[in-house]
Amino acid sequence: MVDIATRVWNHKWKIDPIVRSLIDTDFYKLLMCQSIFRNRPDTRVTFSLINRTKDIRLAELIDEGEMREQLDHIRSLSLSRGESTWLRGNLFYGKRQMFRYDFMEWFEALRLPEYHLEKKDGQFELTFEGAWPEVMLWEIPALAVLMELRSRAVLKDLGKFELQVLYAQAMTRTWEKAERLRKIEGLRLADFGTRRRHSFLWQDWCVQAMTEGLGQAFVGTSNCLIAKNRDLEAIGTNAHELPMIYSALASSDEELAQAPYKVLADWQEEHEGNLLIILPDTYGTEQFLRNAPDWLTGWTGIRIDSGDPVEGAEIAIRWWQERGENPKEKLIIFSDGLDVAKIEDLHARFAGRVRVSFGWGTMLTNDFRGLVPGDALAPFSLVCKATSANGKPTVKLSDNPRKAMGPKDQIDRYKRVFGVGRQDEVEVVVCNAASLETKLTPNGQVIRRDASVARLDDPRVLQFQIVVDCDPVQRGHRPGGVKAAAGRMDLEAH
């Protein structure tokens, strides 16, 4: 097994390039790329980096020259013979030759296009412009570079033994999560953590830990390179990018209203089974399902990626029931802001009512909260989104208005066209805990405080929930309980 701490201590990126393969990306990007290559190959698209956590000033933390080296290295990559053979011949979702001959010929010859990078107000402005099938493949590598360079910048002054202790603590935390999760009967969970991972080596370690710790409950990873190297199932379907760009290309309000369904009509021409997963929240889940054509009810399931996951799941269940479908035969994939407690809660609520699965991201592959001074490794919200298509701005509404993006006049237009009314704001948090503290008491108790916060409509009021998990540790026997408290805090009074 790789000694991650020693590799970090060496600080030699040519030994450990952040992105080491064009398939060091999420599986859904390749599935979507093939669909775009077939249906919209000439669309000109711009992708832009967006740091939602403005107080993390990446351009002041990360050396621009080092960043350019990493991005330039990515541009030198092409598919290896082994990677091409894996894509051409492997079984994905029960189907061999998932990727067509013409797409593979194109992909094997691909080098990623140029990028544009500059600094502004302490942040990087990183954009990619060009043919949609080409520039879309920058999204995941670009995010991986920024996330790992940030990790390296924070860790660069730590000593060898400090790094050993840091990674031992992070490994212990991750393994404890696996121990809790394997108690859930019927759990199905996959790694969705590529885009906000601490590092490639760390994501690879986490996937190996979950493979051993969860056994058959761990169903695979979204990362194609890790899936190939570890002989795991590559997991993924489609993302918001498709309806955002199809909608931007619409020439009228009527065409705009039908664009999200046109995406899925194109998708089902190529895919079946567990790849027929609806992602309904781009312009509001409730409105999408209310206006959905009947043929969509025959799809396998729905992925819930924003808003209140409980409410989203209940909306999906009601929709299936109203359309004459049996929810128990349908699949719901939860993929937003997950950690152990949330997975436990959602599984307990919905197992038996629907088939339940989880795509676990940031808090699997980047949970270093509280392990360095100033919590400088705490995960943050960084995205790389399509911002225009053929010169027209893209728009995303989401089930959480804090995730909305696009010009205000276009957001208002999309809300009108899609019939989106009032939405409840939820703080965009990449982890469900604002703080995590673990202490060992003199009598042998491990006390973990896990506090989650969410802002309400009134910016002066904070709603919070604190969970204290007390686990006596005695020769591996871990009985214990969970105590919870909740309340509201007037920020002006504090």
Look at residue 487 and give its three-state secondary structure: strand
Q: Residue 424: what pLDDT?
A: 62
Average pLDDT value for residue range 321-347: 97
Is residue 458 scored above 50 in pLDDT? Answer: no
Which range, of 94-98, 133-137, 214-218, averages the lowest pLDDT?
A: 94-98
- For residue 181, give the nearest of 208, 214, 209, 205 by alpha carbon: 214
**Res. 440: pLDDT tops 50:** no
Q: Write down the mean pLDDT value for the chain.
A: 87
Inter-residue contact 449 to 442 (CB < 8 Å): no
Pick the closest to residue 28 from 280, 306, 221, 231 (CA basis).
221
pLDDT in tens, 268-303: 998 988 899 999 999 999 999 999 999 999 999 999
- 8 vs 472 pLDDT, higher one: 8
What's the pLDDT score for residue 212? Answer: 98
Cα separation, 174 vs 399, whole angstroms: 30
Show the beta-strand stretches assigned E in 70-115: 91-92, 95-96
Kindly report the length of the chain: 494
DSSP per residue, 39-57: H-TT-EEEEEEEES-TTS-
Percentages (nearest 5) of helix, strand, coil residues in the chain: 45, 20, 35
- Output DSSP code: residue 194: S
Instruction: Measure the CA–CA gap between 216 and 213, rounded to whole angstroms.
Output: 9
**With bands split at pLDDT 50, 70 and 90, how would you rate the model's confidence at 442?**
very low
Query: Contact at 8 Å (CB) between 336 and 399?
Result: no
Q: What is the pLDDT of residue 6?
A: 86
The reported pLDDT for the residue numbered 11 is: 66
Residues of the chain above pLDDT 70, percent? 84
pLDDT at 456 over 70: no
Mean pLDDT of 462-482: 35
- Write down the pLDDT at residue 2: 81
Residue 235's SS3 state is coil
Name the residue type at position 32.
M
Query: What pLDDT does 403 receive?
Result: 77
CA–CA gap between residue 28 and residue 43 (Å, rounded): 19
454 Cβ contact list (under 8 Å, min separation 6): 426, 427, 429, 462, 463, 464
Residue 366: pLDDT band with limits 50, 70, 90: very high
CA 13 to each of CA 160, 165, 366, 473: distance values in angstroms, whole numbers, following the listed order: 17, 22, 20, 40
Could you write out the three-class secondary structure of 107-175?
HHCCCCCCCEEEEECCEEEEEEEEEHHHHHHHHHHHHHHHHHHHHHHHHCCCCHHHHHHHHHHHHHHHH
Nearest alpha-carbon partner for 301 in 276, 318, 336, 325:
276
Strand pairing of 461-472 and 481-490?
antiparallel
Query: What are the tens digits of pLDDT across the range 151-182?
Result: 999 999 999 999 999 999 999 999 999 999 99
The mean-pLDDT minimum among 72-86, 100-114, 305-319, 450-464 falls in 450-464
Kindly tell me the burial class for residue 385, based on how many C-beta atoms sit within 10 Å of its own C-beta (0-12, 13-18, 19 or more). Answer: middle
- Phi, psi angle pair for 76, to nearest 5°: -85, -10
3-state secondary structure of 11: coil
87-101, 349-363, 434-448: range with lowest mean pLDDT: 434-448
How would you label 463-478 residue by residue, b for 16+ Cβ within 10 Å and e otherwise? eebbbebebeeeeeee
> Which amino acid is located at 259 in the chain?
A
In one-letter notation, the amino acid at residue 304 is I
Where are any strands of DSSP class E within 132-258? 189-191, 218-221
* Mean pLDDT (whole number) for 70-84: 97
